[in-house]
Amino acid sequence: ERLLKETAGVVSAEVSLEDKMAVVQVCPSEGVDAARLVAVLTEGSNFQVQVLPDVPPPVPPVEIQLQIEGMKCGGCRGKAERILSEVEGVVSASVNLEEKRAVVLVQDGSGTKASTLVAALARQTNLGVEVIADQPLAPAPEIVISIEGMKCNGCRGKAERLLNEVAGVVAASVSLEDKQAVVQVCPNEGPSPAELVAALTTNTNFTACIVPAGPSGWGPSSEVRLHVEGMKCNGCRGKAERLLTEVPGVLGAEVSLEAKTAVVQVTSGAPDASKLARILTDKGGFEVRVVSEDDSADTESAASKLQILLHIDGMKCNGCRGKAERLLKELPGVQSASVSLEEKQAVVQVCPNEGPSAEDLVAHITAETNFTVAVLQDGVPTAASPEVVLRIDGMSCGGCRSKAERLLNEVNGVTAVDVSLEEKRALVVVCPREGPTATELVSVLTAGSSWSIEVVSDSRAVDAEATVQSGPVVQLQIEGMKCVSCKGKVERLLTEVPGVVGASVDLEGGR
Would you list the DSSP string of 27-68?
-GGGT--HHHHHHHHHTTS-----PPPPPPPPPPPEEEEEEE
> What is the C-alpha separation between 218 and 444, in angstroms, rounded?
55
Residues 416 and 342 in one domain: no
Q: What is the pLDDT of residue 268?
A: 61
Q: Residue 424: inside a domain, yes or no?
A: yes
Residues 371 and 395 in one domain: no
Residues 349 and 401 in one domain: no
Closest CA relative to residue 140, chosen from 162, 166, 109, 171: 171
pTM here is 0.27
> What is the C-alpha separation between 259 and 509, in angstroms, rounded?
8
Q: What angle do CA 278, 281, 284 make, to 5 degrees?
A: 130
Residues 412 and 354 in one domain: no
Residue at a domain's end among 354, 382, 410 = 382
Q: Residue 209: inside a domain, yes or no?
A: no
Q: What is the CATH number of the domain that holds 345?
A: 3.30.70.100
Q: Residue 123: inside a domain, yes or no?
A: yes
Q: Helix H segments across 86-143?
A: 114-124
Q: Residue 359: inside a domain, yes or no?
A: yes
What's the maximum distance between 2 C-alpha atoms anywhere in the chain? Answer: 96
Domain count, the chain: 4
Q: Residue 500: inside a domain, yes or no?
A: no
Residue at a domain's end among 382, 417, 439 = 382
Residue at a domain's end among 332, 350, 382 = 382
Q: Residue 494: inside a domain, yes or no?
A: no
Which domain, by its residues, includes 95? 62-136
Residues 374 and 408 in one domain: no
Closest CA relative to residue 252, chosen from 189, 195, 171: 195
Q: Residue 266: inside a domain, yes or no?
A: no
Contact 276, 247 (CB under 8 A): yes
Q: What is the pLDDT of residue 217?
A: 42
How do 425-430 and 387-393 pair as beta strands? antiparallel
Per-residue pLDDT of the chain (511 residues; tens, 9 = 90+): 888 888 877 777 788 787 788 888 776 666 678 888 899 898 877 889 988 876 555 566 788 889 999 998 888 888 999 999 999 988 888 888 888 888 888 887 778 888 899 999 999 999 999 988 766 555 567 788 888 888 777 788 888 889 988 887 877 888 877 788 888 887 666 788 888 888 888 878 788 877 765 433 444 457 788 888 888 777 788 788 888 888 877 777 778 876 788 888 776 667 888 888 888 988 888 888 887 644 433 333 334 467 788 899 999 888 888 889 889 988 887 877 878 887 788 888 887 656 788 888 999 999 999 999 988 877 655 555 678 889 999 888 777 888 888 898 888 878 777 788 877 888 888 876 667 888 899 999 988 888 999 988 887 765 454 444 445 678 788 888 876 667 778 887 887 787 777 777 777 777 8
Contact 241, 202 (CB under 8 A): no
Q: Residue 341: inside a domain, yes or no?
A: yes
